[in-house]
Amino acid sequence: MSKIIASAAIRGAHKVYERAEKSFNQALKKYGPDKKVEFPNTGYFLPVIYAMTGIRVSTIGDMKQVLDRAKSLLPQIPDENVWLPYLGSALDAGMATLFSDEIIESLKYLEDKIPYTMTLSPTEDNIWLGAADDVIMRERGIEFVDGSAPGFAACVGVAPNNKTAVKIARELQEKSLYVFMSASSPDGRSMAEQLEEEGVQMGWETRLIPFGKDVTATVFALGFASRAAMSFGGVKPGDYRRNLLYNQNRVFAFVLALGEVDDEKYAQAAGAINYGFPVIADTDIPEILPTGICMYEHVVSNVKHDEMVERALEVRGLKIAITKIDIPVAYGPAFEGERVRREDCYLEMGGGKTHAFELLRKKEAKEVEDGKIEVIGQEIDDVEFGSRLPLGIMVNVAGSKMQEDFEPILERQIHNFINGAEGILHMGSRDVNWIRISKAAREKGFKLSNLGEIIRSKLLADYSAIVDKVQVAIYTDQAKVDELREGAREIYSHRDERVAGMTDESVDIFYSCTLCQSFAPNHICIISPERLGLCGAYNWLDGKAAFEIDPNGPNQPVEKGSTIDEFKGQWEGVNKVVFEKSNQALERFNAYSMMEDPMTSCGCFECIVALLPTCNGVMVVNREYPEMTPCGMKFSTLAGSVGGGVQMPGFMGVGKQYLVSKKFIQADGGFTRIVWMPKELKELMMDALKKRAEEIGSPDFVDKIADETIATTEEEVMEYMQKVEHPALEMDPML
Ligand code: SF4
Ligand code: ZN
């Protein structure tokens, strides 16, 4: 351990601690000890402090004991000439720094003008987002779980110029890593501002997160890591050892120190090293070689900007499999959330503006010429900025294990595949698809034929078990598109009839899904034809296909076995699997009840259904709805109590489509129990809701469901129900 680093980290820790003490004293004087403090919308208090000490800081007064703890961790500032052989004192200094950071940062939320937007992406006048709330945490968590996001890079400071900042960000995005940005240079410049100046889209959607400009905002990255350990890893608050071990082993993160590293930045770096996150610096700072904490170097210095990302992955031992696709723009899941605004759009296709469709079909091997990609009609070079064209994407796939049943699953991937390209937006599917190609992508040389290359490369890479050959034709010729779209529509409706016609009674096998067990270890979804997975991403056919594609994967067939209760949806075979796969935590499931032995929820539900006792019915709230609901909780609070793989009678996470299934809480009264849902959800699902209402013989039922424009409390819902004579009023009591 270098004495220079140790003394710098210790000096820095003292400075940050003194700042925290000062902020605390000022706040105490101004607001008194009982004033509430928090990071908004989280159940983890000040997460690093909570994870490491178990202390639940919720008032200013609670901060005192934390400050004392930090102070006791602070080593004496060493004399420059004294050799410090151990890393220990610097690590303690690092931890004291993180505690102090959280105190400073949480007090910022009491200021008249909070320095953070608390939104998913920067706003017009502020780029700094501040701490991630629990909703973000859960949503992003699944990406860490399923490997679509291997980890994060905490970028501290500023790149030497904007171009380098963009290059580093793009490289990290291409590796699917989250990029957490904080701190600035002595002259007040920061990496996030560099990206902003270059027009790079930041926010949780693109994985480029500007946390805060202050050096203390670096703690948000470690707070994220600590919450990952507590919420996904089941680590108990206060169990600092397991928390740090979880992070060292499971969270692939590292620090990129950009520009001059002053004492306070050193102190943050020492905090990160506690978590096993190495520090890669572009400046000449003394290196630290492996000791007991990491298996690798703690600090690697003087790394050229071109090599920083590679070097970080190497040091952290992170292997990322990326599909190299031969296209002129960057590619990776981090680009999926990117928007292409109308003003930046070079070419637009579909989206209701022009006729469009996309279709994937299984063909015989001899009918498919692998790698053949044609554009029939105009290419992007043939049109001017701001143009529109019709679009037909026809993908022909062959493979000895390919089945017709897999067509819709592969076809649905086109959306993610295309969205992964930088500067290309894809929305919708089938004949309501919509593509925008940005001016920037066009300038880099992107062509329509590249859409075909993306689809082919990704199908071959991600579905190698079933796909051997891929041929793509892209049509922009109006007459051709119209003609082929007719044929495609026949195929779509044929597929719909197959799924829609299936009932739970018509099959002997359901499918299990345990994908979410990595963070909700006792959770299991049972997917039947009439009840899809609660994340909305897996229906029965998907489960079947996924099993055939990967027989050892998270989707396994479940024999229903003998029926225990047909009405509630309970079967012997299902119970057996539920018991085994829930680590014997659950004995039975009722697939059609939310009141008695309901299915568990992990955390990725599209909607939550919650009992409204006085209304004798249920409300539904979707993830996108941020406001208060009639049950007195917002989605984020509800999610906290429903998730985690436990049975919670009266509450249940569901996929949207289950709301209009004939089996929707059949045992509790079914569809007509719904008394409230957000307007946006209602509108989104209007056709399906109306169809279901007609099926049950009350075509005007949908109008009887209140929304936030009508009622926001349970009492108001009740009033409305009486006014419209909602059928739930006449039904058996739910409780
Ligand atoms: Fe997770 Fe269930 Fe979706 Fe599988 S089906 S990914 S277990 S929520
Ligand atoms: Zn889940």
Does ligand 1 come within 6 angstroms of the Cβ of 520? no
Does ligand 1 come within 6 angstroms of the Cβ of 525? yes
CA of 634 from ligand 1 middle (Å) equals: 23
Of residues 63, 25, 16, the one with CA closest to residue 215: 16
Can you give 174-231 as a three-state secondary structure string?
A: HCCCEEEEECCCCCCCCHHHHHHHCCCCCEHHHCEEEEECCHHHHHHHHHHHHHHHHH
**What's the full length of the chain, in residues?**
735
Minimal-distance CA residue to ligand 1 atom 3: 535
Percent of the chain with pLDDT over 70: 96
Cα of first residue to Cα of last residue in the chain, in angstroms, is 64
Of residues 505, 660, 538, 527, the one with CA closest to residue 589: 527
Does ligand 1 come within 6 angstroms of the Cβ of 397? no
Rounded Cα distance between 59 and 38, Å, is 8
What ligand 1 atom has the least distance to the C-alpha of 537? 3
Of residues 454, 463, 450, 573, the one with CA closest to residue 511: 573
Of residues 53, 48, 96, the one with CA closest to residue 71: 96
Minimal-distance CA residue to ligand 1 atom 1: 516
What ligand 1 atom has the least distance to the C-alpha of 525? 2
Q: What is the pLDDT of residue 145?
A: 65
What ligand 1 atom has the least distance to the C-alpha of 554? 4
**What average pLDDT score do residues 227-236 get?**
83
Answer with the residue of higher pLDDT: 501 or 619: 619
Rounded Cα distance between 101 and 278, Å, is 19
Point out the ligand nearest to the CA of residue 146: 1
Does ligand 1 come within 6 angstroms of the Cβ of 546? no
For residue 251, what are its two tokens?
A: 């969270």
Cβ neighbours, 10 Å, residue 92: 20
Does ligand 1 come within 6 angstroms of the Cβ of 335? no
CA of 544 from ligand 1 middle (Å) equals: 14
Q: Answer whether residue 335 shows pLDDT above 70.
A: yes
Does ligand 1 come within 6 angstroms of the Cβ of 515? yes
CA of 604 from ligand 2 middle (Å) equals: 4
Q: Answer whether residue 527 shows pLDDT above 80.
A: yes
Q: Answer whether residue 86 shows pLDDT above 80.
A: no
Rounded Cα distance between 402 and 545, Å, is 10
Does ligand 1 come within 6 angstroms of the Cβ of 654? no
Q: Answer whether residue 81 shows pLDDT above 80.
A: no
CA of 558 from ligand 2 middle (Å) equals: 19
Q: pTM (2 decimals)?
A: 0.67
Does ligand 1 come within 6 angstroms of the Cβ of 540? no
Answer with the residue of higher pLDDT: 601 or 597: 597
Residue 509's beta-bridge partner residues?
A: 559
Q: Answer whether residue 354 shows pLDDT above 60.
A: yes
**What average pLDDT score do residues 78-95 get?**
72
Rounded Cα distance between 666 and 81, Å, is 76
Q: Answer whether residue 292 shows pLDDT above 60.
A: no
* pLDDT, tens only, 163-219: 999 999 999 998 889 999 999 999 999 999 999 999 999 999 899 999 999 999 999
Rounded Cα distance between 376 and 476, Å, is 6
Does ligand 1 come within 6 angstroms of the Cβ of 418? no
Q: What is the pLDDT of residue 80?
A: 62
CATH architecture under which domain 3-316 falls: 3-Layer(aba) Sandwich (3.40)
Q: Answer whether residue 84 shows pLDDT above 60.
A: no
Residue whose tokens read 């930090």: 70
Q: How many CA atoms lie within 13 A of 290 on its CB side?
A: 6
Dihedral angle of Cα 636, 637, 641, 642, to the nearest 10 degrees: -40
Judge if 3-316 and 333-497 fold alike in CATH terms: no
Rounded Cα distance between 509 and 518, Å, is 25
Task: Give the confidence band of 517 by pLDDT, cuts at 50, 70, 90.
Answer: confident
What ligand 1 atom has the least distance to the C-alpha of 517? 7
The CATH number given to 504-730 is 3.40.1470.10
Task: Give the confidence band of 4 by pLDDT, cuts at 50, 70, 90.
Answer: low
Q: Answer whether residue 603 shows pLDDT above 80.
A: no
What ligand 1 atom has the least distance to the C-alpha of 524? 7
* pLDDT, tens only, 533-564: 998 878 898 888 888 877 888 899 999 999 99
Domain positions in the chain: 3-316, 333-497, 504-730
Q: Answer whether residue 3 shows pLDDT above 60.
A: no
For residue 646, what are its two tokens?
A: 């436990």
CA of 101 from ligand 1 middle (Å) equals: 36
What ligand 1 atom has the least distance to the C-alpha of 527? 5
Does ligand 1 come within 6 angstroms of the Cβ of 602? yes
Chain-centroid distance of CA 279 in Å reads 26
Q: What is the pLDDT of residue 550?
A: 77
CA of 570 from ligand 2 middle (Å) equals: 22
Whether domain 333-497 has CATH 3.30.1650.10: the reply is yes
* pLDDT, tens only, 12-65: 999 999 999 999 999 999 999 999 999 998 889 999 999 999 999 999 999 999
Residues with CB under 5 A from ligand 2 (ion): 516, 602, 604
Minimal-distance CA residue to ligand 1 atom 4: 513
Q: What is the pLDDT of residue 146?
A: 63
What value does the mean pLDDT of the chain take? 91
111 by Cβ neighbours in 10 Å (0-12 / 13-18 / 19+) ranks as exposed
Answer with the residue of higher pLDDT: 657 or 319: 657
Rounded Cα distance between 417 and 454, Å, is 7
Q: What is the pLDDT of residue 5?
A: 63
For residue 86, what are its two tokens?
A: 């151990």
AA letter at 218 = T
Does ligand 1 come within 6 angstroms of the Cβ of 491? no
**What share of residues in the chain are helix, strand, coil (percent, to 5)?**
40, 15, 40
Those residues whose C-beta lies under 8 Å from the C-beta of residue 683, and which sit 6 or more positions away, are none
* Whole-number Cα distances in Å, 362 to 376, 407, 483, 485: 21, 7, 20, 17
Q: What is the pLDDT of residue 1?
A: 43
Can you give 420-434 as a three-state secondary structure string?
A: CECCEEEECCHHHCE
* pLDDT, tens only, 645-670: 888 999 999 999 999 999 999 999 99
Those residues whose C-beta lies under 8 Å from the C-beta of residue 542, and which sit 6 or more positions away, are 409, 527, 555
DSSP symbol at 670: G
**What average pLDDT score do residues 487-496 get?**
86
Rounded Cα distance between 288 and 272, Å, is 14
